[in-house]
Amino acid sequence: MLYPSKVKSFLFLFIILILAVSCTDKKAESGGEKSQSEKESFASLRDLGDEQWHLGNYQEALHYFTKAYKKVKASGDEAETATLLNNLGLVHWRLENNAAALECYTEAAELAEKNGMKRLLGLTHTNRALILKEQRNFESAFTQNNEAIRLFKEINKPRDLAIAYNNQGQIYRYSGQYSSALDYYLLSLVECKKINYKEGEAIAYQNISAAYAKLGNSKKALDAARKCLKLSYEVKSKVRISEALYELSQNYELFNRKDSALYYFKKHYEVEKSIMKANQSKILSQY
């Protein structure tokens, strides 16, 4: 038989135990909610960055991606950090800050390789190849892009393979090898059509147009440029529309059709001005 004092002691210990378990559960629940909230926070910021990137508002994209990167790096999530670094590299590249872009791509590649992220690793290779091409370092550009092509074939990623083929064409084009460039642009177009990747088709047609123009084939150059413009309006990308209009203007100028060249250049300028205005508004808001 338990004495009253012992019963009281037992009940007291039991109550303390229940309270301790309850507090632990609440703490764990609170921690879980906080972790989930943090995930949702940087995911939302990343999505906002993606949206602004596709609209061509690069300063806005940089703002959101930078905030997302700081949050996710603090969380220790290396996979998400690698992805955001690659995104930041793309934005820096569009803003013509190649040194910052290469730094982001290189750090992203290290994390991607460490965490077995083959697709992202391939993307960092294609992205670095683009900058090396612009710097006229063609040998290094081919080395990077060939590795990307190998990886995308290995993991069966037609969209990424299409982009890598397109980039290979760009490297050939910048080095003055227009027939080889055209071959890779056409390979890119085939991969895009397989998966109904409209924006990729628009990019491929733009570059096919440029290659035909360099080869002196006005009919095929203008036909490809018109297809590029049509697809650009379909995907509602200001960047694609601007570049398609510029491509048409350049081609008409090259083939001595001045009125048409001026017409498309004016339309290109209008779209480009709207992109610049969006970026300038963001810069001014920071002061």
What is the Cα–Cα distance from 151 to 146, expressed in whole angstroms?
A: 9
Q: Are 85 and 111 in contact (CB under 8 A)?
A: yes
Q: Supply 14's token pair.
A: 């039991």
What is the Cα–Cα distance from 77 to 51, expressed in whole angstroms?
A: 22
Q: Is the pTM of this model over 0.85?
A: no
Helix axes 138-154, 118-134, angle to 10 degrees: 160
What is the Cα–Cα distance from 229 to 241, expressed in whole angstroms?
A: 6
Contacts of 240 (CB under 8 A, 6+ apart): 199, 202, 203, 206, 228, 231, 232
Dump pLDDT digits (tens) for 113-142: 999 999 999 999 999 999 999 999 999 999
Instruction: Give the residue among 223, 198, 199 at the shortest CA–CA distance from 210.
Output: 223
Which carries the bigger pLDDT value, residue 278 or residue 252?
252
Q: Poorest-confidence range of 37-41, 198-202, 206-210?
A: 37-41
Which carries the bigger pLDDT value, residue 110 or residue 21?
110
